[in-house]
Structure 1
């Protein structure tokens, strides 16, 4: 990511939860599963995989979780006031977070290098050429 200055600040819609991303994400993915379509109210959800110790959060968040099709727990943190989703995480892998990067002040990092669950992708969405795709989650 050229010319991106870290840390990048982020906040939920109401500003009750703020955070700083201290370094670039490990990767950015677009997930097309039905659950991510529900979450994003769009064709897919964007996730920036980051190391837990590279993000500093402030503000009150609430937990939510569900059992994923994979059998893993998909857990999330969101603002208690506006409900804006901040990140997802796997309780079995506490060293990584699945940050929802659309609430960053500099969104240039949002350039997915992989698309997951394309088996559930909306037919009208065209994935750019050269981007890795996976029928399901890897």
Structure 2
């Protein structure tokens, strides 16, 4: 069992088992959401995830028309997970939310999927990517 939490720790979740997939997204929305060059998230089946604490949400419509709901901590604003209406039984958790002194880097699965590759910054070089979507 692994635990993910927001910055202040008032919102957390625990996951059991392995993720469905771990992916990197280079879309502009993920760049803005993370404040970085891309987002990295692990997808889990809803029944693998236990939530703890109060969250608020923000929704947006993705490029393909799906409604994406971002759950965040009302205290520190950290985005802890998101869901898509097209996949209601799947929870996507930004990988950095698992960051903790007790979590070794070997415990977190590496991304094997890259989406919005055409928006990838030229200086980003990732290893182990098996599927690429533009």
TM norm structure 2: 0.89
CA distance in 2, matches of 1:64, 1:130: 30
User: Of the candidates 50, 66, 74, which is equivalent to residue 68 of structure 2?
Assistant: 74
Residue 125 of structure 2 aligns to a residue whose secondary structure is coil
Q: Once superposed, what is the RMSD of the aligned Cα atoms?
A: 1.5
Residue 32 of structure 2 aligns to a residue whose secondary structure is helix
Q: 1:13-46: CA deviations, max 9, x gaps? A: 0011122111110110000011111111111101
Q: What is the aligned residue count?
A: 129
Equivalence for 1:118: 117
Once the two structures are TM-superposed, the CA of residue 109 in structure 1 deviates from its matched residue by 1.6
Q: 1:87-131: CA deviations, max 9, x gaps? A: 110134221111112111435324100111011111111232653
CA distance in 1, matches of 2:87, 2:114: 21
> Does structure 2 retain, via aligned residues, the 8 Å contact 1:101–1:110?
no
> Does structure 2 retain, via aligned residues, the 8 Å contact 1:102–1:110?
no
> Does structure 1 retain, via aligned residues, the 8 Å contact 2:112–2:128?
no
Structure number having the greater strand percentage:
2
Structure 2 residues without counterparts, runs of 5 or longer: none
**Which moves more between the two structures, 94-103 or 51-60?**
94-103
Runs of 4+ more than 2 Å apart: 105-108, 127-132
